[in-house]
Structure 1
Amino acid sequence: MATLLDIEGTVCSISFVHDILFPYALEKLPQLLQNEQFPIVPGASKASELTPYLESFPEEYRQSSQALEAHVKDLTEQNVKAPYLKALQGYIWKSGYESGEIKAPLYPDAVAYMKRVVDEGKKVFIYSSGSVPAQKLLFGYSSAGDLNPLISDYFDTINAGPKMEAESYVKILKAIGFEAGDVLFLSDNVREIEAAKKAGLRAYVAERPGNAELTAKEREENVVKTSFDGVEV
């Protein structure tokens, strides 16, 4: 038996991501780009640790620091989950976590749930649109300490696929070696819940402060949890 957990709006607040993490990356980016030589050409000599992340951006945005900054800001404001953006954000957040500027405020009931699942001999897996390195940072520098030892594996849109497609969950099941009915997925996003159900997983909607309001139909068609206390895998 296992549980698969979303992050944003599920184990931590949406406001942490949108009000702390996103602005932090935007604030630090201009200074980091000062050390880069534009245009950035993939395969050319690496100017810094940051260069490989920038090489993943579309060519038109690699022509100048201004173009790249504007593109990152646009994607961030629209909450576009482009893998190359997520990788860049994760790189920038790393220094913030390590310096102590950033600490992930996880919901206490989510932390207790993860510990309880592991104590029961079951597995905890993470599936988020944020990159796997960013996920490890968030759980490594959380309000409850380093929780990475509780987590068996991590999935994102690169190694699993889009979160609103059933095939992504099938891919995760193959990777972790569990039958669909033995895995409970928790997320605040109803479309993700629907995709997981199509793949055969059990799935509950996490309703947290600040999350998108659920419709009457969504409440009727789904199991909704305002806390993970009492949730059984």
Structure 2
Amino acid sequence: MSHSRRVRLPENGPRAVVLDIEGTTGSLSHVRDVLFPYARERLAPWLTAHRGTAPWQQILDAVTTHTGAAHDEASALALLEQWADADVKAAPLKTLQGLIWAGGYAAGELYGHVYPDVPPALEHWKAQGTSRFIYSSGSIAAQRDWFGHTAHGDLRPLLDGYFDLTTAGPKADADSYRAIAADLGRAPAGLLFVSDVGAELDAAAEAGWRTVAVRRPDDERPAVTGHEAVASLTPLVSRPGPGRSTAPVGTHTQENPSDE
């Protein structure tokens, strides 16, 4: 079922598009059923294999910083496993998952799932002069590996940059989107955030961004309310590039009540 609705269009297209990964550009089930279990079973072996190295110390220091208490390997591992089991968006866990996944990608054991509509959308925005970024709870390293190892090839040349918890902040916090806008040097009204999570879209809208919810056909969760929704990125590529006039299409930016 489509949740798209016709809305009044902005006069100009977005200067930059910021995309979520899970459920938006890639399959949520791939993350839950493939990547998370892969990393979970390798948390302890990774720490053992890297004991005493700089990356190992980085993880222990990150756990200490995150919790405000000193941790040795055993106590850090216990916390990392608890966070993994509860899917806690903790930066130390995301960093370690990224390191483990990097080994899996390099070994050819993992790939990043990307929906087939994503590469042409990225190519279209690039040709239009619209900047393209990823914002995910996963580490920037993990994001790069994801888009660097897909069934569609290496998509990293189609992306201009990445944001994560350590560089922008929590995705359900409006200040994170203010920080991204400041980093990009763009007015929030010229930025479009695309995600499948209502709380993230609400936060972006609070920060003055345009928002679009993606609800993939295989996603059985309740529909996101308060935001325009699409089933893929395809409807969004009809948005004009920066400074170009719009043409009427069926799905575009979140409706402004003042336009009614």
Q: Which category of TM-score, normalised to the shorter sequence, fits these structures?
A: 0.7 to 0.9
Q: Please say if residues 193 and 204 of structure 1, whose CA atoms lie closer than 8 Å, have aligned partners that are also in contact.
A: yes
Structure 2 residue corresponding to 1:6, chosen from 14, 20, 25: 20
Are residues 1:56 and 2:65 paired? no
- Residue 63 of structure 1 aligns with an amino acid whose one-letter code is D
Label 1:161 to 1:188 Cα distance change in 2 as closer, same or farther (>3 A).
Answer: same
Q: Quote the Cα distance in structure 2 between the aligned partners of 1:48 and 1:126.
A: 27
5+ residue gaps, structure 1? 38-45
Deviations 1:79-132 (A, max 9, x none): 110011101111111100111100012001122211111121211011111111
- Residue 183 of structure 2 aligns with an amino acid whose one-letter code is A
Label 1:212 to 1:76 Cα distance change in 2 as closer, same or farther (>3 A).
Answer: farther
Map of 2:47 onto structure 1: 33
Give the structure, 1 or 2, with the largest relative contact order (CA under 8 Å, sep 6 or more).
2
Q: Quote the Cα distance in structure 1 between the aligned partners of 2:62 and 2:179.
A: 24
5+ residue gaps, structure 2? 1-14, 240-260
Structure 1 residue 155: Cα displacement: 0.6
Q: Name the % identity.
A: 36
Label 1:69 to 1:149 Cα distance change in 2 as closer, same or farther (>3 A).
Answer: same
Q: Please say if residues 26 and 115 of structure 2, whose CA atoms lie closer than 8 Å, have aligned partners that are also in contact.
A: yes
TM-score, with length taken from structure 1: 0.87
Map of 1:97 onto structure 2: 105
Label 1:117 to 1:48 Cα distance change in 2 as closer, same or farther (>3 A).
Answer: same
Q: CA RMSD in A?
A: 2.0
Are residues 1:227 and 2:232 paired? yes
User: Secondary structure of the residue that 1:3 maps to in structure 2?
Assistant: strand
Label 1:47 to 1:125 Cα distance change in 2 as closer, same or farther (>3 A).
Answer: closer
Are residues 1:186 and 2:194 paired? yes
Label 1:48 to 1:173 Cα distance change in 2 as closer, same or farther (>3 A).
Answer: closer
Q: Matched residue pairs, number? A: 221
Q: Quote the Cα distance in structure 2 between the aligned partners of 1:28 and 1:7.
A: 23
Q: Please say if residues 39 and 97 of structure 2, whose CA atoms lie closer than 8 Å, have aligned partners that are also in contact.
A: yes
Map of 2:212 onto structure 1: 204
TM-score, with length taken from structure 2: 0.79
Q: Quote the Cα distance in structure 2 between the aligned partners of 1:47 and 1:107.
A: 37
